[in-house]
Structure 1
């Protein structure tokens, strides 16, 4: 199996646009039915052995607890309740409007009284059109979706290894349905003052200094093709002049700030692809952390914080 298969954006653009909206519909239900966590950690999807999951949703105490899973091996959506009831339906052959009606109907059938608070796409060109009225987006190529899932899984493993190297506050590795990327975020202890003019989503997400690293599948605004990325917020002066590795990595300006980018196609076929991606994340982190004055003691190579175990794993000098 190709660990990092080719997936140019134009090769699956219609499927990607349809799938993105499927994810947003389910994600908005997750948002409505989950317990709020700092920095919106309750909202994204997590990966499973055959797709992605909302994780259990529902009230604490009385009420129906349920999970929604996308299975990208059989290409079905599955809704499971804690008492063992289930409803599933295929993802193929549906428009976004069809999917919305199938999904909300399945929730009602199970007695789950949760609907998206705002049943419109988030930050997409058709944001004014309700999901239920979208018969335009109806493409679903199972082979392309399987490649997307394969890439998600491999990137998740690289991000888990990267996340293990930091002992400070770190987000889970999670898949964002609103921006269609997978990421992990490291935090410093310093608060970031933001005025009331900043929207509440941003205020919560960036209430602390962050260095976020991840991967997205390409879009028309920031990067037209799949790429690994990293950014520091707030951005320290001179960030864009700091060195990055490997050689294909570069700084790019987007929305008034600088983003470290490593194009997917420049590393996916390399014999040491995972190591190259990790070097990219490490150098981008080092650049932001150094300029922002983060605590260097938070690094823990290999995920080890036990000083005795850490000393035992250090290379011994040759005699």
Structure 2
């Protein structure tokens, strides 16, 4: 077991439980928030202590749900100072947490009905009947949070100077990843269907993220995903850095595993180089119309 991170199988039981806990909060935000393009309204901010929903509009006042992943509790709090604290511990099933969360929302005057079916999850048991997922390893959760902080620093350094519409690195409850996005401002409607895809893929963009792995891809990794999707990068592969980064044709993504990033003397530099060269390759293959302005250097030091 590596001291810096866990591969998904090393903490799958805890990862899945935490994923489902956070999905419930994300779905509450989805139900209550004002819609934004590309699902911007469901982003969940990372903090020093954990992951929260940020401000959610309630029936009469605002509220938030915050997961403190250092102290291992969840605060459900209204703007009028009403607060309910839920403890996170091993043995707390998803079904039990669902009941507690719904009860807490009732207590602060923000009752919210959500779709109890998990999304983008490999074992979709409805929240209110899921007694299978109940493992909570505090050390694993804290290590995951440490990895998210590293990802936030690295991705934020790359994304910060970009102009136009940019999503800062945020947690996404569907796939348990932390990612940010640069948008081109050019319309690109999705050729398929489905409410998630159609409302996500409607503009040319490039997403830069980190996710902790899943049953089919067990290593935590950074990724760069352009839309429209690239089928291959041909000879431009020589531009990709650092050396251990690669392009996966099957998933149309650039990949740098967390293990490989940590293998370099300056891991954060490895990640920012990965983001920069992946984005440069995209602009060689499918250049954006306003790219010179989007990447125009700031007039003050961006570092």
Superposition deviation, residue 25 in structure 1: 0.9
Contact preservation (8 Å) 2:210, 2:223: yes
Q: Which residue of 1 aligns with 2:203?
A: 208
Structure 1 residues 100, 286: CA separation in 2 closer, same or farther (over 3 Å shift)? same
Structure 1 residues 237, 219: CA separation in 2 closer, same or farther (over 3 Å shift)? closer
Q: Which residue of 1 aligns with 2:173?
A: 177
Query: Which is greater in Rg?
Result: 1
Match of 2:254 among 255, 260, 265: 260
- Which runs of 5 or more residues in structure 2 are unaligned? none
Q: Which residue of 2 aligns with 1:120?
A: 117
TM-score by length of 2: 0.92
Superposition deviation, residue 112 in structure 1: 1.1
Q: Which residue of 2 aligns with 1:156?
A: 152
2:229 matched to 1:231? no
Name the CA distance, whole Å, in 1 between partners of 2:34 and 2:149.
Answer: 26
Q: Which residue of 2 aligns with 1:108?
A: 106
Please list the CA deviations of residues 97-117 of structure 1 after superposition, one character each: whole Å capped at 9, or x if unmatched. 11101111111122212121x
2:61 matched to 1:64? yes
Q: Which residue of 2 aligns with 1:9?
A: 8
* 1:77 aligned counterpart, secondary structure: strand
Name the CA distance, whole Å, in 2 between partners of 1:204 and 1:19.
Answer: 26
Q: Which residue of 1 aligns with 2:94?
A: 96
Name the CA distance, whole Å, in 2 between partners of 1:236 and 1:8.
Answer: 27
TM-score by length of 1: 0.88
Contact preservation (8 Å) 1:44, 1:174: yes
User: Which region of structure 1 is more displaced relative to structure 2, 274-283 or 157-166?
Assistant: 157-166
Superposition deviation, residue 157 in structure 1: 1.1
Name the CA distance, whole Å, in 2 between partners of 1:189 and 1:267.
Answer: 31
2:33 matched to 1:34? yes
- Which runs of 5 or more residues in structure 1 are unaligned? 314-319
